[in-house]
Amino acid sequence: MPASTSPLANPVTNSESSSSEKAAIALFVDLDGTLIDTDVLAEATLQAVRRNPLFLFQLPWLVSRGRARFKQEIARRVPVDATLLPYQREVLDYLHACKAEGQTLILATATDQSWAHAVAEHLGIFEAVLASDGVRNLKGKGKLAAIEADCHERGWSDFGYAGDAHADLPIWRAARDVYVVAPSGRLRRSLTDMQRPYNILGSSRAWHEAPHTLLQGAHWWPNAWLLLPALLATLFVSGVSLSLLACAFLVCVLFTWSAGFARQMASPSASDASATRRKRLPLLSAARWCLLTFFAASLVSLAALPWWFVPFAWTLWSAYVVDAFWLAEHTGWSGASLVCRQLLRVVAGALLLPHPISWPSVIAFGLAGVGSLFGAAWRGRRTA
């Protein structure tokens, strides 16, 4: 039978159970990527490194002890505030509707049990929780075994499952009702090969969420200091390559954009009380855009700019990332980082001039440097 799909608001009748049948079949629900639009383990690991950079060197040893033990250790270090997680509203509304019809809902996740119980207690719609416990990692076939054991213990012959990843395919093959959250094209093809009807909850994740952030002035105006020495130098000398400067400006904007996504990744996680969390991109989307813009900027720089511009741009990007992860909460150090980034741009702009050591270039550099310091001070006062 060919797979049939539908949006959440209009489920397919031949792949959905009736209300009475649905009430008799428990629905097991995944957490990461299904109920919430992020990965709790990845976010908590980032926060652990942010709090203590030396923790980065402990990660290989912790991972070598097994994924279940690793998750337990991260959960011990970084507690989660379930009220701040980015829940998928359409999925959550659907689960509330199922609960109202009398269906049993069980949270089944590879996330550590302490995080899973925090989510279940906050939502109040799950009858039970199946989660990793430091010994078993409930993912893929391991999760299927736990679900089947739970069903056997409760006397259930069938169950439904809601997930979002290829690791869930073994569970979907054994489930009576199949629910897929925001599937990719590759996952859709795998589901079609199963020859099973399935239901889509939520809309597919799209990359177009991020590009509008490029229009923010925060990505453009700081890089204008790169152009200032050249613009001032045109008053004294000729031969300034405007195309070269425009290319350098574009590269810096892309690196700043990449650093902006890194800043979103370092923003307060579910362990911190911050309402702004709901407005940012999901962690994995931010990571994809961060890497994409970083490599795009590097390639443009290698192809069109002097060799020294690449290490300069990487240094600028690294300064942004260090500020986002470790200096943002310290006003003094963050302000010093801002000044250094501004001066780096001015120096790079001066070095792009035809004769960077000539007295007009030195004058232009000096004026731009003073201007950048005033600009940094003004921005620091605005963000204070």
Q: Supply 143's token pair.
A: 């999760």
The confidence score (pLDDT) of residue 382 equals 46
Q: Which of 372, 355, 350 is nearest to 231 (CA)?
A: 350
Q: Is 60 exceeded by the pLDDT of residue 92?
A: yes
pLDDT tens for 18-63 read 555 665 689 999 999 899 988 888 888 888 887 888 888 888 898 8
Q: Name the average pLDDT for the chain.
A: 76
Q: Which of 101, 81, 99, 100 is nearest to 20 (CA)?
A: 101
Q: Is 80 exceeded by the pLDDT of residue 284?
A: no
How far apart CA 277 and CA 270 sit, in angstroms, is 8
Q: How many residues does the chain have?
A: 384
The confidence score (pLDDT) of residue 196 equals 81
How far apart CA 147 and CA 118 sit, in angstroms, is 20
How far apart CA 47 and CA 45 sit, in angstroms, is 5
Kindly list the domain boundaries of the chain, sorted by start residue.
19-203, 208-383
CB under 8 Å to 289, separation ≥6 — which residues?
207, 210, 258, 261, 281
The confidence score (pLDDT) of residue 212 equals 53
Unique residue bearing structure tokens 């290698």: 302
- Least confidently predicted of 11-20, 157-166, 178-187, 250-259: 11-20
The confidence score (pLDDT) of residue 62 equals 87
Give the class (CATH, top level) of 19-203: alpha beta
Unique residue bearing structure tokens 């962690």: 283
Q: Which of 17, 67, 60 is nearest to 41 (CA)?
A: 67
How far apart CA 169 and CA 140 sit, in angstroms, is 7
Containing 370, the helix (H) or strand (E) segment is: helix 359-383
User: Do the Cβ atoms of 288 and 258 come closer than 8 Å?
Assistant: no
User: Do the Cβ atoms of 89 and 202 come closer than 8 Å?
Assistant: no
pLDDT tens for 366-376 read 555 555 555 54
Give the class (CATH, top level) of 208-383: mainly alpha
Confidence band for 293, pLDDT divided at 50, 70 and 90: confident
Q: Output 1 or 79, whichever has higher pLDDT.
A: 79
Unique residue bearing structure tokens 């690449």: 310
The confidence score (pLDDT) of residue 365 equals 54
Residue 66 backbone dihedrals phi, psi, to 5 degrees? 110, 150
Question: Can you spell out the DSSP letters for 265-303?
Answer: HTS--TTS--GGGGGSPPHHHHHHHHHHHHHHHHHHHHH
Q: Supply 311's token pair.
A: 């290490």
